[in-house]
Amino acid sequence: MSGIVAIVGRPNVGKSTFFNRLIKRREAIVDAVSGVTRDRHYGKSDWNGVEFSLIDTGGYVVGSDDVFEAEIDKQVELAIDEADAILFMVDVESGITGMDEDVANLLRKVDKPVFLVVNKVDNAKRAADAVEFYGLGLGEYYTVASMSGSGTGELLDDLVKALPEKEDVVEEELPRFAVVGRPNAGKSSFINALIGEDRYIVTDIAGTTRDAIDTKYNRFGFEFNLVDTAGIRRKSKVKEDLEFYSVMRSVRAIEHCDVCLLVLDANRGFDGQVQNIFWLAERNRKGIVILVNKWDLIDNKTSNSIKEFEREIRREIEPFVDVPIVFISALTKQRIFKAIETAVEVYNNRAKKIKTSVLNDTLLPIIEQNPPPAYKGKYIKIKYITQLPTPQPQFAFFCNLPQYLKEPYRRFLENQLRKQFDFNGVPISVYFRKK
């Protein structure tokens, strides 16, 4: 299980710059996926082969410093609850402020690794000034410069040592479906509608997600584990509508599932918070089914309403538009069965393995008819295609000049894979390798 690392601190100490530096290092290599940069507050990073999720709490608070003061305690408390390690960032230019002291007071009581990171230290004088941060009572500190990246290596070495070891989980063959979405979208009602009055539950297993419960279902002819983020204990101190809260919760559930059932309230539409969770699932390469709940409550529906609503959603999720959208009502149990049936289809699509011979026989003739555009007079020849042995669909296209293949052609190949082999609801990765 990869750890979750939260970056906390008052505004303008450089959290986002540091966050961007950490996720870009990896994205430049692995995640050359369109749509990745839309969600600025959550990312994956790795250091020395240890992968972890990174959450920049700074992105979740908008407004003046006074608004921030009220929110920052909530954010830090949440980070303390949810993260495996905390990076507390301060700014050497301004020294210790009252707000820094407030955060330090919260963090001193914590039984988790806390790393005090003094930012903007880019010369010897500033390194000497950093000594004052011993005054926060958090022990040793790390000096970094987010802009240039200096000092981050030592910090990351110690950070990854402090993260929980990967557990060797004996993988159960059952599909794991996570029900995610913003608060009050109807996740609980959906789950209750699924369970039904007689509770078709075989066993309750404590999930790998710390306090989301896995419930094993055997119903509708399907057997699957449901990861319920709706029923997670509410924190009395946390306002349910905090966007950060939903995202924090969803991170764990999404990382440990095969397919996300993203429930949204038809009255609110596909808003920013729902989009955050969508891109979170896409970034983690999980199967996705979008469930539009409370459709029965929409007034003035016309025969075109569903089409228009779908069009709206697909516009927001471009270029990954090959995602099933099911209109349901958890209250009247309308299309509940359809939702599960679709999730099972997406699960099967994600697990699909295509023989190398079939891939080559199908795609090479198409590529021959639509070859990659020449680059500076050089012709690019794709000679061979294979599916990589990964849990989700990833394909390697072997060619003579992989460095000259551009994004539009990558998308063309992805669309052909979707068209020929049906990967509805599943993010696909396409890599170009040197033959």
CATH code of residue 91: 3.40.50.300
Write the secondary structure of the chain as one string of H (helix), E (strand) and C (coil).
CCEEEEEECCCCCCHHHHHHHHHHHHHCCCCCCCCHHHCCCEEEEEECCEEEEEEEHHHHCCCCHHHHHHHHHHHHHHHHHHCCEEEEEEECCCCCCHHHHHHHHHHHCCCCCEEEEEECCCCHHHHHHHHHHHHHCCCCEEECECCCCECHHHHHHHHHHHCCCCCCCCCCCCCEEEEECCCCCCHHHHHHHHHCCCCCEEEEEECCCCCCEEEEEEECCEEEEEEECCCCCCCCCCCCCCHHHHHHHHHHHHHCCCEEEEEEECCCCCCHHHHHHHHHHHHCCCEEEEEEECHHHCCCCCCCHHHHHHHHHHHHCCCCCCCCEEECECCCCECHHHHHHHHHHHHHHHCCCCCHHHHHHHHHHHHHHCCCCCECCECCCEEEEEECCCCCCEEEEEECCHHHCCHHHHHHHHHHHHHHHCCCCCCCEEEEEEC
Domain boundary (350, 370, 387) is at 350
- In the chain, the amino acid numbered 351 is A
116 and 203 together in one domain: no
Range of weakest confidence among 34-38, 237-241, 362-366, 426-430 = 34-38
Question: At which residue do the structure tokens 């397919």 appear?
Answer: 259
Higher pLDDT, 330 or 64: 330
Instruction: Answer whether residue 146 is part of any domain.
Output: yes
Q: State the CB neighbour count (10 A cutoff) for residue 97.
A: 13
Domain boundary (295, 315, 350) is at 350
pLDDT tens, 90-108?
999 999 998 899 889 989 9
Domain boundary (350, 365, 383) is at 350
What domain range is 309 assigned to? Answer: 176-350
CA 169 to chain centre: 21
Structure tokens at 61: 């608070």
pLDDT tens, 155-176?
999 999 999 876 554 455 788 8
Range of weakest confidence among 65-69, 111-115, 195-199 = 195-199
Task: Please state the residue numbers annotated as binding site.
Answer: 9-16, 56-60, 119-122, 181-188, 228-232, 293-296
- In the chain, the amino acid numbered 105 is N
94 and 231 together in one domain: no
Instruction: Answer whether residue 85 is part of any domain.
Output: yes
pLDDT given for residue 55 in this prediction: 82
108 and 215 together in one domain: no
* Cβ 255 vs Cβ 53: under 8 Å: yes
Q: Identify the band that residue 203 occupies on the pLDDT scale cut at 50, 70 and 90.
A: very low
392 and 424 together in one domain: yes
Q: What percent of the chain has pLDDT over 90?
A: 40
The pair phi, psi for residue 356, each rounded to 5°, is -60, -40
314 and 248 together in one domain: yes
241 and 368 together in one domain: no
Instruction: Answer whether residue 363 is part of any domain.
Output: yes
Domain count, the chain: 3
Cα separation, 160 vs 3, in Å, equals: 9
Q: State the CB neighbour count (10 A cutoff) for residue 278.
A: 27
Task: Please state the residue numbers annotated as binding site for GTP.
Answer: 9-16, 56-60, 119-122, 181-188, 228-232, 293-296
The pair phi, psi for residue 72, each rounded to 5°, is -65, -35
Higher pLDDT, 346 or 102: 346
Please state the pTM of the whole predicted model. 0.69
92 and 144 together in one domain: yes
Instruction: Answer whether residue 392 is part of any domain.
Output: yes
146 and 180 together in one domain: no
Q: Identify the band that residue 241 occupies on the pLDDT scale cut at 50, 70 and 90.
A: very low
202 and 328 together in one domain: yes
